[in-house]
C-alpha cells in the first residue's frame, strides 16, 4: 500500500496540480459544460427558484420575529423588502426560463391533434404521434439526467485519479465496495429515477399539472372530433369530464391509450378524467420534498442529539432518553392526525400545500427512532482515545463532535435515514389516502389520493388507478431500503451477509 514517494510535492495546491496536468480536467469540464449548456434555461430557472424560495423564507422568519416582538413597522418594511427582492428574482427567473432548453415540452412537443381521421398529426414533434413524441422526450430526459449524475460521479473519479493529494482515503474503499454492490446500485438507480421525476416532472408528463389538474378550464384542447369529422377546440376540463376512468367499458381510459380528444395517457386517467401520469409526476415532487425535508431534519436532530448524549452522558442522556421514549410511546399515525388537525387553520398548513407542516411533524415524531439507532455508534466513538486526545489539547466540545464523532456516525445516519424514509413516504401516502383535511391539500397531486380514488375500481378495467401509484410507492420504498443496505455494507464490510464474503474473508485470513 505504501509507495516510496508521494505523487505530489507536499506544498502543492490544487491549482498548481491542475495546471501541471490540465488534460483530464479539461476533458471532463468540456462534457459537463455541454451538459449544462443544453439545459441552461431550466438550470438557471431552477437555481433562481431556489433563491426565490430562500429569500421568501428568510424574510418570512424576520417578519414573524418582528411581529412577535411587536415591531409592526419593521415587519411591514420586511414585507416590502421581501416583495421587491422576490419580484426581482422572479423577473430574472422568467427571463432565464425564456432561454431555449433542449429537453422541454416546447422543443419536443407531444400535444397535437389529428388533421383528419387518418392523420397526419399536427403540432407534435416531427409529426410523430403523441405517444412516440412523448416517449422520445421521456427517454431523452431520463437518459440525459442519468448521464449527468454519472458524469458528476466521474468528476470525482477524475479528481481522485489525477489531482488529489492523498493517494488513498477511507472513503475510496467505501465507494469501491458500493461499486460492486448490485442491490445498493439498484437503490441508487431507483432514487435517481424518482429524483428525475421530481425535478423534471413538468417536462415528463404528457400534459402539465396546471393545464390538466389545477386549472383545466383556463386551458383548451384542440382535437379531431371523429363524430363531427372536424378539428374542434374544447376546454381541458370538459375533455377531462369525458375521459373518466370509472371501471365501465365505455368509461375507461387505460394505460398507454388515447382518449377521445387525441390525448395520450401513459398511465391512463383518474376517475375524474385527469391524466394519471401527470398526477404521479406532481405527486413525486411533493412526496420527495416532504420526505427529504422530514428525513433531513430528523437526521439533523437525531445526529446532533446522539452526539450530545454520547459526549456528555449522564443526566443529559437520560433526559433525551425519556423525551424520545415519550414521543415514541404515542402511535405515530395518531400523532400525525392529531397535530394535522390542530394546525389545520394555521398559516403553516398553507406552506407547500400542507407539505411543510407534514414534514415538520414527521421530523419531530421521527427523530427518536434515528436517535436511538445512531446513539450506539456515537457512544462507541465517544469512547475512542482520539476524543480524549482532542480534549487534552483544548478542543471545544462542539469541534470535537463535528470533527471526531460526526464522520463516524454519518454512515449509520445515512443507512437508517434511507430506511426510515420509506416509512415517511408510506405515512404521507396514508394521510393523503385518508383525506378529510389530512395529507397534501387537493388539488395538488399526492400519491395516496390516487390510490384512494381508484379504491372502488381495483377489480375492474380501471385497475390502473390504484395499482400504478401503489406499485410506485412499493418500488421507491424498496429502492430506499436497498440503498440503505448498500451503504451499510459499504461502510462496514464485516456486516455484509452472504456466504461469499465470509468465504473470502476466511481465505484471506
Partner 1 sequence: MSQATQRHDDTDEETLIEVRNLEKYYGDDGMFSPPPVKAVDGVDLDIKRGETFGLVGESGSGKSTLGRTLLRLEQATSGTVSFDGTDITTLEGSDLKRWRRNAQIVFQDPESSLNDRMTVGEIVREPLDAHDKGTERERRKRVMDLLSRVGLREEHYYRYPHQFSGGQRQRVGIARALALEPEFVVLDEPVSALDVSVQAKIITLLEDLQEEFDLTYLFIAHDLSVVRHICDRVAVMYLGKIMEVGETEELYEDPVNPYTKSLLSAIPRPDPTDESERTTLPGTPPSPRDPPQGCQFSTRCPAKIRPEGFEEVSEETWDAIERFREIVRERTRVELGTVDRVKRRAGLFSKYDDIDEAVKDLFDGVERPPVVDDHLTYAVEQVKAGHPQDARERLHEAFGSVCDRERPAHHQVGDRGRESYCHRHREEYDDVESAIRR
Which residues of the shown chain bind partner 1 in the complex (CB under 8 A)? 1-2, 5-6, 10-11, 165-170, 384-386, 388-395, 399, 403-404, 407-408
The distance of closest approach from Cβ of residue 503 to partner 1 in the complex, given in angstroms and rounded to an integer, is 24
The distance of closest approach from Cβ of residue 408 to partner 1 in the complex, given in angstroms and rounded to an integer, is 7
Distance CA(157)–CA(180), nearest Å, equals 16
Q: Which is nearer to partner 1, 322 or 383 (CB)?
A: 383
Q: Which is nearer to partner 1, 9 or 21 (CB)?
A: 9
Distance CA(378)–CA(67), nearest Å, equals 40
Residues whose CB falls within 8 Å of the CB of residue 263, separated by 6 or more in sequence, listed in order = 111, 130, 206, 207, 221, 223, 239, 243, 275
The distance of closest approach from Cβ of residue 501 to partner 1 in the complex, given in angstroms and rounded to an integer, is 20
The distance of closest approach from Cβ of residue 390 to partner 1 in the complex, given in angstroms and rounded to an integer, is 7
The distance of closest approach from Cβ of residue 372 to partner 1 in the complex, given in angstroms and rounded to an integer, is 24
Distance CA(272)–CA(241), nearest Å, equals 7
Nine-digit cell string for 378 = 456515537
Distance CA(56)–CA(78), nearest Å, equals 10
Q: Which is nearer to partner 1, 123 or 391 (CB)?
A: 391
The distance of closest approach from Cβ of residue 362 to partner 1 in the complex, given in angstroms and rounded to an integer, is 30
The distance of closest approach from Cβ of residue 491 to partner 1 in the complex, given in angstroms and rounded to an integer, is 11
Q: Which is nearer to partner 1, 27 or 403 (CB)?
A: 403
Backbone angles phi, psi at 396, to 5 degrees: -70, 155
- Dihedral of CA atoms 37, 43, 48, 51 in degrees, nearest 10, equals -120
Contact (CB, 8 A) for 274 and 280: no
CB atoms within 10 A of CB 1: 4
CB-count burial class (<10 Å; 0-12, 13-18, 19+) for 393: exposed
Contact (CB, 8 A) for 302 and 494: no
The distance of closest approach from Cβ of residue 419 to partner 1 in the complex, given in angstroms and rounded to an integer, is 23
Q: Which is nearer to partner 1, 10 or 494 (CB)?
A: 10
Q: Which is nearer to partner 1, 16 or 169 (CB)?
A: 169
Q: Which is nearer to partner 1, 11 or 500 (CB)?
A: 11
Backbone angles phi, psi at 181, to 5 degrees: -105, 95
User: Running DSSP on this structure, what letter comes out for residue 247?
Assistant: S
DSSP assignment of 62-76: HHHHHHHHT-HHHHH
Q: How many residues does the chain have?
A: 509
The distance of closest approach from Cβ of residue 385 to partner 1 in the complex, given in angstroms and rounded to an integer, is 4
Q: Positive or negative CA dihedral for 480, 483, 489, 492?
A: negative
Q: Which is nearer to partner 1, 106 or 385 (CB)?
A: 385
Q: Which is nearer to partner 1, 169 or 455 (CB)?
A: 169
Distance CA(466)–CA(117), nearest Å, equals 33
The distance of closest approach from Cβ of residue 403 to partner 1 in the complex, given in angstroms and rounded to an integer, is 7
Q: Which is nearer to partner 1, 137 or 404 (CB)?
A: 404
Residues whose CB falls within 8 Å of the CB of residue 187, separated by 6 or more in sequence, listed in order = 418, 479, 480, 481, 482, 483, 484, 485, 486
Contact (CB, 8 A) for 192 and 146: yes
Q: Which is nearer to partner 1, 410 or 441 (CB)?
A: 410
Residues whose CB falls within 8 Å of the CB of residue 121, separated by 6 or more in sequence, listed in order = 112, 113, 114, 115, 127, 128, 129, 130
The distance of closest approach from Cβ of residue 311 to partner 1 in the complex, given in angstroms and rounded to an integer, is 14
User: Running DSSP on this structure, what letter comes out for residue 102?
Assistant: T
CB-count burial class (<10 Å; 0-12, 13-18, 19+) for 260: middle
Residue 141 half-sphere exposure toward CB, CA atoms < 13 A:
27
Q: Which is nearer to partner 1, 345 or 383 (CB)?
A: 383
The distance of closest approach from Cβ of residue 157 to partner 1 in the complex, given in angstroms and rounded to an integer, is 18
Amino acid at each position: 500500500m505504501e509507495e516510496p514517494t508521494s505523487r505530489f510535492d507536499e506544498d502543492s495546491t490544487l491549482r498548481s496540480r491542475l495546471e501541471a496536468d490540465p488534460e483530464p480536467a479539461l476533458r471532463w469540464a468540456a462534457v459537463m459544460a455541454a451538459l449544462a449548456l443544453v439545459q441552461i434555461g431550466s438550470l438557471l430557472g431552477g437555481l433562481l427558484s431556489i433563491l426565490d424560495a430562500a429569500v421568501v423564507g428568510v424574510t418570512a422568519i424576520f417578519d414573524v420575529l418582528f411581529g412577535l416582538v411587536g415591531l409592526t413597522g419593521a415587519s411591514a418594511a420586511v414585507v416590502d423588502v421581501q416583495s421587491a427582492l422576490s419580484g426581482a428574482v422572479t423577473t430574472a427567473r422568467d427571463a432565464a426560463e425564456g432561454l431555449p432548453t433542449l429537453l422541454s415540452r416546447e422543443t419536443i412537443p407531444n400535444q397535437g391533434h389529428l388533421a383528419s381521421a387518418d392523420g397526419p398529426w399536427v403540432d407534435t414533434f416531427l409529426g410523430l404521434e403523441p405517444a412516440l413524441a412523448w416517449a422520445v422526450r421521456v427517454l431523452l430526459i431520463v437518459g440525459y439526467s442519468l448521464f449527468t449524475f454519472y458524469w458528476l460521479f466521474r468528476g470525482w473519479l477524475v479528481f481522485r485519479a489525477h489531482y488529489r493529494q492523498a493517494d488513498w482515503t477511507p472513503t475510496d474503499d467505501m465507494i469501491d465496495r458500493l461499486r460492486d454492490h448490485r442491490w445498493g446500485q439498484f437503490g441508487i438507480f431507483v432514487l435517481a429515477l424518482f429524483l428525475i421525476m421530481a425535478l423534471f416532472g413538468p417536462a415528463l408528463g404528457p400534459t402539465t399539472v396546471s393545464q390538466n389538474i389545477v386549472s383545466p378550464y383556463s386551458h383548451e384542447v384542440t382535437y379531431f372530433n371523429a363524430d363531427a369529422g372536424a378539428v374542434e377546440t374544447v376546454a381541458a376540463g370538459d375533455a377531462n369530464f369525458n375521459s373518466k376512468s370509472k371501471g365501465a367499458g365505455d368509461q375507461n381510459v387505460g394505460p398507454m391509450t388515447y382518449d377521445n380528444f387525441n390525448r395520450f395517457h401513459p398511465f391512463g386517467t383518474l376517475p375524474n378524467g385527469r391524466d394519471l401520469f401527470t398526477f404521479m409526476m406532481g405527486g413525486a415532487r411533493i412526496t420527495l420534498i416532504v420526505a427529504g425535508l422530514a428525513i433531513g431534519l430528523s437526521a439533523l436532530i437525531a445526529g446532533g442529539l446522539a452526539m450530545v448524549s454520547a459526549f456528555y452522558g449522564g443526566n443529559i442522556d437520560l433526559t433525551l432518553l425519556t423525551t424520545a421514549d415519550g414521543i415514541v410511546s404515542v402511535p405515530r399515525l395518531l400523532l400525525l392526525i392529531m397535530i394535522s388537525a390542530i394546525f389545520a387553520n394555521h398559516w403553516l398548513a398553507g406552506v407547500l400545500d400542507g407539505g411543510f407542516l407534514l414534514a415538520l411533524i414527521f421530523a419531530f415524531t421521527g427523530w427518536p427512532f434515528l436517535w436511538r439507532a445512531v446513539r450506539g455508534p456515537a457512544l462507541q466513538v465517544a469512547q475512542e482515545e482520539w476524543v480524549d486526545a482532542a480534549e487534552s489539547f483544548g478542543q471545544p466540545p462542539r469541534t470535537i463532535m463535528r470533527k471526531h464523532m460526526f464522520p463516524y456516525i454519518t454512515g449509520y445516519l445515512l443507512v437508517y435515514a434511507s430506511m426510515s424514509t420509506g416509512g415517511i413516504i408510506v405515512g404521507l401516502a396514508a394521510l393523503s389516502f385518508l383525506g378529510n383535511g389530512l395529507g397534501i391539500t387537493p388539488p395538488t397531486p399526492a400519491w395516496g389520493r390516487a390510490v384512494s380514488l381508484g379504491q372502488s375500481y381495483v377489480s375492474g378495467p380501471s385497475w390502473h388507478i390504484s395499482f400504478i401509484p401503489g406499485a410506485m410507492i412499493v418500488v421507491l420504498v424498496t429502492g430506499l431500503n436497498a440503498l440503505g443496505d448498500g451503504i451499510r455494507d459499504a461502510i462496514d464490510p464485516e456486516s455484509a451477509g452472504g456466504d461469499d464474503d465470509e468465504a473470502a474473508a476466511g481465505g484471506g485470513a
